[in-house]
Amino acid sequence: MTGRNVSANDVAGPGSAGLRRVRRPALTDAGGLLGEGVGLVFTSRAGGVSPAPFDSLNLAFHTGDDPANVTANRALVAEAIDAPPMDFVYLEQVHGAKVARVSGAEQHGSGAGDALPACDGAFTTVPGLVLSVLTADCVPVAVSYPSGGAVAVVHAGWRGTIADIVAVALRKIREEMGLDPADARAVMGPAIAACCYEVDEGRAGLFVERYGRRDGVVTGRGDRFLDLPRANTLNMLEAGVREENILRVGGCTCCDGGYFSYRREGSTGRQGTFICIRHIRR
């Protein structure tokens, strides 16, 4: 996985009418934020082959997009970051707090039936395995332990945030590998921001109960707007991650039409977050 930036240039590709225009993925390379030897990229909706409303780099099968388009888009991402499609690990995300360790023995890849079942986070120590989460407003959180040779990624929607899935991952890594959260680095990717995430009183009340009113998680008119990145930052601080090691990449997915946003569009695609331990070539 090179994590190199790739522009969304047109190339010719096969299609039902003979040829179609395929746009290469535009990737944000953030691996340098997580330490040497870690690859981390975020996709947007730019690139790919999917038609509206999934235009055009939709990476999720469950959206209603043609599965052939999703398979093609995943292959384009794999090519862009120089990793074999069968080295990718996708999750069947269910807005829960289950985190799985991936050793390489599990079935994984880019096919519709290859996702790890009922799982919203994963971690690994195996170089070359590319862990992923797919989002369209929820918070993707990528974690590395530069001195411990481990990486993780979680999908934190409002349910996963309340359930503290980031802390679940950090705790599991500590229990199984002895790695201290104080040594972790974390990067949150593009997600919906408080400016656009208005919720009902019941959901807002859950966050007031969990975080109070002073930490900036529940804001705005009537205390009905949630700041999920802020909530996940607080979760990581409570779990022992150092504040200077918590970063954010990208803006609000709902404000920025360059991203898929369920809140803005309803029927839409999903962008991806991909992390791996790079193979060291000697």
Q: Which residues contact 32 (CB under 8 A, 6 or more apart)?
A: none
Structure confidence at residue 113 as a pLDDT band (50, 70, 90): low
Which of 94-103, 219-228, 246-255 is predicted with the least confidence, judged by mean pLDDT?
219-228
Predicted pLDDT at 18: 41
- Cβ distance 270 to 55 under 8 Å? no
Greater pLDDT, 104 or 194? 194
Return the closest-CA partner of residue 229 out of 205, 255, 200, 253.
253
Whole-number Cα distances in Å, 159 to 40, 93, 106, 168, 201: 25, 12, 26, 13, 15
Predicted pLDDT at 147: 82
Predicted pLDDT at 148: 80
> CA 3, CA 246: separation in Å to the nearest integer?
20
Angular region, 214: left φ>0, alpha ψ -120 to 50, beta rest: alpha
Predicted pLDDT at 276: 96
Read off the pLDDT of residues 32-87 as tens digits, 9 standing for 90 and up.
999 999 999 999 999 999 999 999 999 999 999 999 999 999 999 999 999 999 99
Q: What are phi and psi of 225, to 5 degrees?
A: -110, 130
The dihedral built from the CA positions of residue 246, 29, 76 and 137, taken in this order, carries a sign that is positive
For the chain, percent of residues with pLDDT exceeding 70: 88
> At residue 279, does pLDDT exceed 90?
no
Predicted pLDDT at 203: 97
Q: Which amino acid is at 160?
A: G
> At residue 19, does pLDDT exceed 50?
no
Structure confidence at residue 108 as a pLDDT band (50, 70, 90): low
> At residue 4, does pLDDT exceed 80?
no
In this prediction the pTM is 0.91
Read off the pLDDT of residues 136-186 as tens digits, 9 standing for 90 and up.
999 999 999 988 899 999 999 999 999 999 999 999 999 999 999 999 999
Q: Report helix angle 165-177 to 228-239, nearest 10.
A: 30
Q: Which residues contact 266 (CB under 8 A, 6 or more apart)?
A: none
H, E, C per residue of 234-271: HHHHHHCCCHHHEEECCCECCCCCCCCCHHHHCCCCCE
Per-domain residue ranges of the chain? 23-277
- CATH C-level class of 23-277: alpha beta
- For the chain, what is the mean pLDDT? 90
Greater pLDDT, 2 or 79? 79
Whole-number Cα distances in Å, 266 to 33, 68, 269: 32, 22, 9
CA dihedral in degrees (230, 235, 199, 192; nearest 10)? 50
Read off the pLDDT of residues 126-135 as tens digits, 9 standing for 90 and up.
999 999 999 9
